[in-house]
Amino acid sequence: MASSDQIQSPETTNLRLLLLHRYPKFKTMFLSKLQTRYQILDPLTEPDPSPLSGSVRVMLCVGPTRVTSETLNKYPNLECIVGTSAGFEHFDLNECRRRGIIVTTAGDSFSDDVADFAVGLLIDVLRRVSAADRFVRAGCWPVKGEFPLAFKVGGKRVGIVGLGSIGSRVAKRLEAFGCTIAYTSKRKKPNVSFPFHSNIHDLAINSDVLILCCSLTKETHHIVGKEALTALGKEGIVINVGRGALVDEKELVQFLKRGEIGGAGLDVYENEPNVPKELFGLDNVVLSPHMAVFTPVSFQVLEELFSYNLEAFFSNKPLRAQIEFE
Amino acid sequence: MASSDQIQSPETTNLRLLLLHRYPKFKTMFLSKLQTRYQILDPLTEPDPSPLSGSVRVMLCVGPTRVTSETLNKYPNLECIVGTSAGFEHFDLNECRRRGIIVTTAGDSFSDDVADFAVGLLIDVLRRVSAADRFVRAGCWPVKGEFPLAFKVGGKRVGIVGLGSIGSRVAKRLEAFGCTIAYTSKRKKPNVSFPFHSNIHDLAINSDVLILCCSLTKETHHIVGKEALTALGKEGIVINVGRGALVDEKELVQFLKRGEIGGAGLDVYENEPNVPKELFGLDNVVLSPHMAVFTPVSFQVLEELFSYNLEAFFSNKPLRAQIEFE
């Protein structure tokens, strides 16, 4: 990609772009367009470090690819990381701040899709949609008798962990089903009428369902562990569309295996793409492979956002969805 | 059940009840309570016709069990049928009207559950929840590469067929996801702002999704057939939570097999419990075994309704959820 032709091209000489890709799909989706505007340096297909490393001013970081101080050392003139992920736990933010590197995220490009999917997982776990589908496809109806009754969505007390752009969209949707909403987050939100609980235990003890929509930080790592699961109780449901490590996965698996919580809908895992095999046999669990939170429409919105940010960076304009360092 | 002890019991002599059961589960759920108040005649466990048939004044008809003029001939003094199903296509209503028999249904006892399930099926088909779960459980992640991108819920133009107690609840839920709603029904509803289409073709051609929520009548039989499916088009989705015969199932299967529509979520089938086997291999289809539209909470609401109606009948009070003959 960084052929000598391209290096000599006068249009791209001053536009340097580092692409750190993770999803092979990304190349076919966006790369050809990017190549018309930028010179691409791809560490997965070229020498790393490359002779061009010193010229890199901006990194397009695809998905939750880790960016450590070691990564940053390779690109001493990096000024900006344009991220394509809603989360930012894969960036060493302290190091970015220290070096004065601007970092952006996907902002709320995916928020509607993630919220839709969270609600889909919840209905699926409560009403056993995937399990019913499995039952029918296996030819069990009516051979194995009636399919067991499932649980009503309306009236469920839903506790949202992180009432940001995703959590608030989940709340809006579930209110239309007659669920009641409460939440916990770093601090009580102004202008939000849902009951606030200052810690996960209080939220869990007052909820039938916990939906994890928050960022993964030191504070939220394993926020749902033994204590929260115990407080949630035997019929409680955990939905995780945030990051795997928000939940103590080993504990969750034990609680599910022992029937000490009611079910779970998981789009993310602690050690992706590894999904605990003990879950595969459970009918009260719905599993999806992380990518399920994307749709082509969201990708288009995301592409607009990162394209805008790349242009803005090279034109010295303000960037969107920029992380504000605390 | 109709033992001679019970027949002689002074408390029940004048309370006669015919139970036409379909679901074995019903017996354990409600029968013992009913037996404390009524004498039960169960044609599935006793001689049919029974010597008591002439004394039957009210029938509790469980589920969509067919009641034909032949059935009615066996009970010449029947005055009332208390139904437990939301639909009424299984009753010969002309014959009931001719004989002056009152007929009641489940009213809207199930409406919330059915609406929830319809939305669950739609999210499941669009976002491929069940397919994703199958993918993960089969150990395909990441062995078989990325799971294919699914479709956004928001922005979908949803056409509701039958904007009654179920359809209007579906509309309310899907508006919260950013879908736009239109409908068709016997006639335009007053005080409803959603666009009305007078026929299925016009609705289908203006919709990305058709959700079938109407009763099965002569007019709605096969309302979604070749013409509507063609109008709906290659990316269109059909959700059926009404009755199987609302859809021309053979056509639907062909359209799905040939990729001429985008997908389907089906809780009901033309010839239950037979599900077309050709659907079992399709990833854009979600199948559930009819019973999935019930939850224990709904059953409780239903039990309250039919218990009330039975009491009301024997006390000459007005019944609830009574069918008004046209």
Specify the pLDDT at position A9.
40
How does DSSP assign A60-129, residue by residue?
EE-SS--B-HHHHHT-TT--EEEE-SS--TTB-HHHHHHHT-EEE--TTTTHHHHHHHHHHHHHHHHHTH
Specify the pLDDT at position B115.
97
Chain-chain contact of B136 with A175 (C-beta, under 8 angstroms): no
User: How many other C-beta atoms lie within 10 A of the C-beta of residue B144?
Assistant: 10
pLDDT digits (tens, 9 = 90+) for A111-125: 999 999 999 999 999
* Segment among A303-317, B45-59, B86-100, B268-282 with least mean pLDDT: B45-59
| Mean pLDDT value across residues A21-40 | 74
Q: Which of A15-24, A30-39, B6-15, B200-209 has the highest mean pLDDT?
A: B200-209
Q: Does residue A243 carry a catalytic annotation?
A: yes
Q: Does residue B290 carry a catalytic annotation?
A: yes
Q: Does residue B272 carry a catalytic annotation?
A: yes
In sequence order, which residues have a C-beta less than 8 Å from that of residue A286 and are 6 or more positions away?
A: A121, A124, A125, A129, A130, A263, A264, A265, A266, B129, B133
| Mean pLDDT value across residues B36-51 | 81
Measured between CA atoms, the residue of chain B closest to residue A150 is B295
Q: Which of A11, A235, A272, A304 is catalytic?
A: A272
Q: Tell me, yes or no, if A147 comes closer than 8 A to chain B by beta carbon.
A: yes
The verdict on ipTM greater than 0.90 is no
Chain-chain contact of A117 with B134 (C-beta, under 8 angstroms): no
Specify the pLDDT at position B7.
36
Rounded percentage of chain B residues whose pLDDT exceeds 90: 72
Q: Which of B272, B278, B304, B311 is catalytic?
A: B272
Question: With 70 as the cut, is the pLDDT of residue B13 above it?
Answer: no
Specify the pLDDT at position B87.
86
Chain-chain contact of A120 with B136 (C-beta, under 8 angstroms): no
Chain-chain contact of A116 with B129 (C-beta, under 8 angstroms): no
Rg (CA), chain A: 22
pLDDT digits (tens, 9 = 90+) for A60-81: 998 888 899 999 999 999 999 9
CA atoms within 13 Å, Cβ hemisphere of A5? 3
Specify the pLDDT at position A25.
62
Q: Which of A33-42, A60-69, B289-298 has the highest mean pLDDT?
A: A60-69
Specify the pLDDT at position B288.
96
Contacts of B280 in chain A (CB under 8 A): 136-137
Question: B236 pLDDT band (50/70/90 cuts)?
Answer: very high
Any bridge partners for residue B266, and if so which?
Answer: B240, B287
- Comparing B185 with B39, the larger pLDDT belongs to B185
| Mean pLDDT value across residues B134-145 | 92
Closest in B116, B132, B145 to A177, CB measured = B116
pLDDT digits (tens, 9 = 90+) for A187-203: 999 999 999 999 999 99
Contacts of A150 in chain B (CB under 8 A): 292, 294-295
Q: Which of residues 11-40 of A touch B (CB under 8 A)?
A: 23-25
Q: Which of residues 97-126 of A touch B (CB under 8 A)?
A: 112-113, 116-117, 119-121, 123-124
Question: With 50 as the cut, is the pLDDT of residue B314 above it?
Answer: yes
Chain-chain contact of A295 with B151 (C-beta, under 8 angstroms): yes
Closest by CA position to B238, among listed B180, B199, B287, B280: B287
Specify the pLDDT at position B9.
40
Question: Which tokens go with A173?
Answer: 């949707």
Specify the pLDDT at position A7.
36
| Mean pLDDT value across residues B141-151 | 86
Closest by CA position to A276, among listed A226, A186, A285, B224: A285
Q: Tell me, yes or no, if B177 comes closer than 8 A to chain A by beta carbon.
A: yes
Question: With 70 as the cut, is the pLDDT of residue B15 above it?
Answer: no
Question: With 80 as the cut, is the pLDDT of residue B20 above it?
Answer: no
Cα separation of B164 and B218, whole Å?
A: 18
Query: How many interface pairs between A and B have CB atoms less than 8 angstroms apart?
Result: 177
Question: A52 pLDDT band (50/70/90 cuts)?
Answer: confident
Mutation pick from B109, B122, B133, B175 vs chain A, by most beta carbons of A within 10 Å, is B133
* Segment among A9-18, A48-57, A197-206 with least mean pLDDT: A9-18
Are residues A122 and A144 in contact, defined by beta-carbon separation less than 8 angstroms? Answer: no
Contacts of A262 in chain B (CB under 8 A): none
Closest by CA position to A214, among listed A293, A161, A268, A173: A161
Chain-chain contact of A286 with B133 (C-beta, under 8 angstroms): yes
Cα separation of B179 and B163, whole Å?
A: 16
Q: Which of residues 257-286 of B touch A (CB under 8 A)?
A: 273, 275, 280, 286
Chain-chain contact of A153 with B116 (C-beta, under 8 angstroms): yes
Domains and CATH numbers, chain A: 4-109+296-314 (3.40.50.720), 111-293 (3.40.50.720)
* Segment among A131-135, A188-192, B93-97, B142-146 with least mean pLDDT: B142-146
Specify the pLDDT at position B3.
40
Specify the pLDDT at position A10.
36
B146: exposed, middle or buried (C-beta count within 10 Å: 0-12, 13-18, 19+)? Answer: middle
Rounded percentage of chain A residues whose pLDDT exceeds 90: 72
Contacts of B124 in chain A (CB under 8 A): 120, 124, 129-130, 133
Closest in A124, A132, A280 to B137, CB measured = A280
Specify the pLDDT at position B18.
66
Chain-chain contact of A129 with B130 (C-beta, under 8 angstroms): yes
Q: Provide the mean pLDDT of chain A.
A: 90
Measured between CA atoms, the residue of chain B closest to residue A285 is B133
| Mean pLDDT value across residues A311-320 | 94
pLDDT digits (tens, 9 = 90+) for A200-220: 999 999 999 999 999 999 999
Q: Which of residues 214-243 of B touch A (CB under 8 A)?
A: none
| Mean pLDDT value across residues B62-77 | 90
Specify the pLDDT at position A12.
41
Question: Which tokens go with A204?
Answer: 């869990």
Closest by CA position to A241, among listed A290, A203, A197, A304: A290
Question: B25 pLDDT band (50/70/90 cuts)?
Answer: low
Contacts of B171 in chain A (CB under 8 A): none
Cα separation of A167 and A307, whole Å?
A: 26
Chain-chain contact of A124 with B127 (C-beta, under 8 angstroms): no
Cα separation of A20 and A63, whole Å?
A: 9
Measured between CA atoms, the residue of chain B closest to residue A277 is B137
Specify the pLDDT at position B22.
62
| Mean pLDDT value across residues A34-45 | 83
Q: Closest approach of chain B CAs to the CA of A151, in angstroms? A: 5
